[in-house]
Amino acid sequence: MLARSRLFAPLFVALTGSAWIALWIWDAGPYARFLHHASWTELPLVGPICREVPGASLTIAALLHSVAWLLMIAAMMLPTAFPLFDTFRRMTVAHSNRRTLMALLIVGYATMWALFGVLAHGFDAALHLVADQSASLLANGWLIGAAIVALAGLYQFSSLKHRCLDKCRSPLMFITEHWRGRSARRESFALGISHGAFCIGCCWALMLLMFAVGTGSVGWMLALGAIMSAEKNFSWGRSIGKPLGIALLVWSAWIVLQHARIA
């Protein structure tokens, strides 16, 4: 039992590391555009299918974006939730189906982030559609980027973010509030859903920065993942929220000034 307990953290690190390696290989390879906004009809092998089969372009785009998004979540967000998973593992160590309960917890957590990914990609696609139909917006697309950066900066000061952070920083209290073990499987999945919702409440604005600076950039994912992990899991993480918010607002203002000077 003790040996299995000691294996949990290394296996979790291996899972996260594998996701990062997969993203790095994908981003460095010939199909890096799958991680970004791509015209599917221009891609080798996929293009002919998209042109010939009705609806194939949307189906393939949705499938590949989903795979890329889940890899990003495994790489960026699972480490931020490690304290909850490890606490839950220790609390359920006596259960004969503890592996199933842990799997349901992780699946519930990933489900919430997958739903957020659908909404975020839908919002992003709608913005691109509106921009493509508006010559002025297309010429001034930087305004959207500046607005997203400013939104992320302002959200750093919001009470909602800090309430969600408080939930994420207290894994033992969170589990005791949401898990009784009476219907262990259902409650484990619901616990993952609940924690995923609060995690999104902490991090959604920072995650939207990926759409402003380039979805699929491994460098940006590393930076954002490190910031979110620090905010949630380190004692000094409380001290970086406001400076980060100020930095993002300054960045947004700099974007506006740069383009105003060019105009």
CB 69, CB 121: distance < 8 Å: yes
The predicted model scores a pTM of 0.78
Q: What is the mean pLDDT of residues 137-141?
A: 68
> Which pLDDT does position 118 carry in this prediction?
81
Written as one letter, the residue type at 1 is: M
How does residue 145 score in pLDDT terms, banded at 50, 70 and 90? confident
In the chain, domain spans: 2-262
Question: Each residue of 168-224: pLDDT tens digit?
Answer: 999 999 999 988 878 889 999 999 999 999 999 999 998 888 777 655 566 677 778
Q: Which of 20-24, 86-90, 126-130, 160-164 has the lowest mean pLDDT?
A: 20-24
What is the distance between the terminal CA atoms of the chain, rounded to a whole angstrom? 67
Closest by CA position to 61, among listed 79, 49, 74, 76: 49
pLDDT at residue 4, rounded to an integer: 41
Q: Residue 117, Cα to own-chain centre: how many angstroms?
A: 8
Say yes or no to pLDDT of 45 above 50. Answer: no
* 217 Rama class: left (phi>0) / alpha (psi -120 to 50) / beta: beta
Where do the H-state alpha helices sit in the chain?
2-28, 46-52, 56-76, 82-91, 98-132, 135-139, 142-155, 159-168, 171-178, 184-213, 218-233, 241-262
pLDDT tens profile 61-85: 666 666 777 777 777 788 888 889 9
